[in-house]
């Protein structure tokens, strides 16, 4: 690789600077290499799915901005794109799949009828790549979600339809985990809520509780399946009330030993999402973290290396919780090259985790215990200018993926040779 000697020399220089602070960068890279990041399939096609040839996202509190050419139009193109993304990333990744991305082979299969048959080719593909998979029920973009309610719907026919759908996704997810030998997280998010003032919130939440109780009646081995519940502050069309609020799911998860999903775009813009990690880990075994970037609202911008994602990573590392926090990406930007969005977002998340792992946490905690707050703040500031970028460049080098801006040329080449040929 071009400039290999420079990269290696920069790493050795950085390694010594961190060693002066008691940080073993070789050990840090081993820890970073153990972290799996779950890549969300829906960035590649703008949350359209493959239920019908011309499937598009509609309703349910979601919105994708942009119409950049080259989005994946079928299972084969989506897999090709994901493989390209993974070839440009160091470390370990897995795939996060929504139920609407089944291999339906041109047949119309309603969501209460999906089976493992429609996802077996995905499992076979994952086996070939030696990666794990996660799964999600798709409780939006469907006629039975048009009134804004699914698992909390007062229309019993519609509610039973969604209960059956989620039951089937749990069964499929358990089979995915069994076949791949890695637990599959099945994360439940619903768009249920009210655009304007809602009077009978209690009944909708009681119905949601009943639906979840019914869904979770069947238990699967945790080696195969992990259940997760994802809350939201508001959505498009549910500005005044969301049934599955943070408080609702937090109570349900703690009482029923389920995983809580914290999405970094699903809270008030001024909330520090990282602060929730240590609080929740005292009461639940594991967390699912959806890393996104909201600007003014839950706009799901591409993740960048900013203060928010840094704080998320620092809180995980400071709580010694890398084995208890499952990290997934959840953004969808159709205004730029979608492969580029994946690579930028994943690398930014990895860079934040690396930055956190390179922090002299023991020193900072020791200063804090002694009340030396000036010294604590000084070291926090000093760490900001340490050459962590040189460590990440070396990590890319030893993983045989493009270092620095070299991935840009690779993505441009893929766009010219593959994406541009998609109508």
Distant-in-sequence, close-in-space partners of 369: CB < 8 Å, separation ≥ 6: none
Q: Is 230 one of the catalytic residues?
A: yes
At 294, phi and psi to the nearest 5? -90, 135
Active-site residue, from 263, 286, 333, 415: 263
298 included as an active-site residue: yes
Q: Which of 227, 230, 333, 415 is catalytic?
A: 230
Cβ proximity of 161 and 144 under 8 Å: yes
Q: Alpha helices of 20-100 — where are they, by DSSP H?
A: 25-33, 75-87
Coil vs helix vs strand at 303: coil
Cα distances (Å, whole numbers) of residue 302 to 162, 331, 422? 30, 6, 23
- DSSP output for 273-296: THHHHHHHHTTSS-EEEEE-EEES
Which of 118, 204, 266, 276 is flagged as catalytic?
266
The CA-to-CA distance between both ends of the chain, in Å, stands at 35
Candidates 42, 122, 125, 189; catalytic one: 189
Secondary structure (3-state) at 359:
coil
> Would you say 122 and 133 are in contact if contact means Cβ atoms under 8 Å apart?
yes
**Per-residue tokens: 109:** 């299969």
| Beta bridge partners of residue 230, listed in sequence order | 261
Active site residue 266: yes
* Residue 263 a catalytic site member: yes
| Annotated catalytic residue within 232, 258, 276, 301 | 232
User: Which listed residue (77, 298, 308, 333) is catalytic?
Assistant: 298
DSSP, residue by residue, 97-152: EEGGG---TT----GGG--GGGTHHHHHHHHHHT--EEEE---SSSGGGTTS-STT
Annotated catalytic residue: which of 330, 333, 393, 415? 330
From the candidates 300, 308, 359, 415, give the one annotated as an active-site residue: 300
- Nearby residues of 30 by Cβ (< 8 Å), 6 or more positions away: none
Which candidate in 178, 204, 290, 301 is catalytic? 290
In the residue annotation, 54 being an active-site residue is answered as: no
How far, in Å, CA of 266 to CA of 288, rounded? Answer: 13
The token duo for 263 is 């999405």
Write out the catalytic residue numbers: 189, 230, 232, 263, 266, 290, 298, 300, 330
């Amino acid at each position: 690789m071009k400039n290999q000697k420079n990269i290696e020399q920069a790493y050795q220089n950085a390694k010594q600077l961190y060693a002066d602070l008691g940080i073993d960068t070789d050990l840090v890279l081993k820890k970073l290499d153990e972290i799996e990041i779950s890549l969300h399939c829906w960035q590649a096609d703008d949350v359209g799915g493959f239920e019908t040839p011309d499937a598009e996202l509609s309703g349910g509190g979601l919105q994708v901005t942009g119409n950049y050419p080259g989005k994946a139009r079928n299972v084969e193109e989506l897999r090709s794109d994901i493989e390209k993304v993974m070839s440009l990333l160091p470390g370990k990744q897995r795939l996060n799949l929504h139920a609407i991305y089944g291999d339906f082979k041109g047949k119309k299969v309603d969501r209460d009828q999906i089976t493992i048959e429609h996802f077996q080719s995905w499992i076979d593909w994952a086996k070939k790549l030696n990666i794990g998979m996660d799964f999600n029920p798709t409780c939006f973009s469907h006629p039975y979600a048009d009134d804004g309610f699914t698992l909390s719907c007062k229309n019993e026919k519609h509610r039973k339809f969604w209960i059956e759908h989620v039951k089937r996704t749990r069964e499929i997810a358990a089979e995915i985990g069994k076949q791949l030998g890695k637990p599959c997280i099945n994360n439940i998010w619903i768009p249920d809520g009210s655009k304007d003032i809602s009077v009978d919130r209690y009944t909708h939440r009681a119905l949601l509780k009943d639906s979840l109780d019914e869904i979770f009646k069947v238990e699967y081995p945790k080696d195969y399946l992990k259940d997760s519940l994802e809350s939201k502050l508001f959505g498009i069309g549910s500005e005044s009330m969301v049934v599955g609020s943070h408080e609702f799911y937090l109570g349900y998860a703690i009482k029923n030993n389920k995983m809580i999903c914290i999405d970094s775009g699903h809270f008030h813009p001024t909330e520090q999402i990282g602060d929730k990690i240590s609080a929740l880990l005292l009461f639940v075994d594991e967390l699912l973290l959806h890393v996104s970037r909201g600007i003014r609202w839950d706009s799901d911008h591409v993740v960048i290396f900013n203060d928010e994602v840094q704080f998320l990573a620092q809180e995980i590392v400071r709580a010694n919780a890398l084995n208890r926090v499952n990290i997934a990406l959840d953004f969808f930007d159709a205004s730029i090259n979608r492969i580029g969005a994946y690579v930028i977002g994943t690398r930014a998340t990895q860079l934040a985790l690396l930055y956190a792992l390179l922090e002299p946490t023991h020193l900072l905690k020791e200063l804090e215990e002694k009340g030396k707050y000036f010294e604590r703040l000084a070291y926090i500031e000093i760490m900001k200018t340490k050459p962590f970028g040189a460590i990440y460049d070396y990590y890319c080098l030893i993983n045989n993926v493009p270092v620095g801006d070299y991935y840009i040329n690779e993505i441009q080449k893929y766009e010219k040779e593959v994406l541009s040929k998609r109508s």
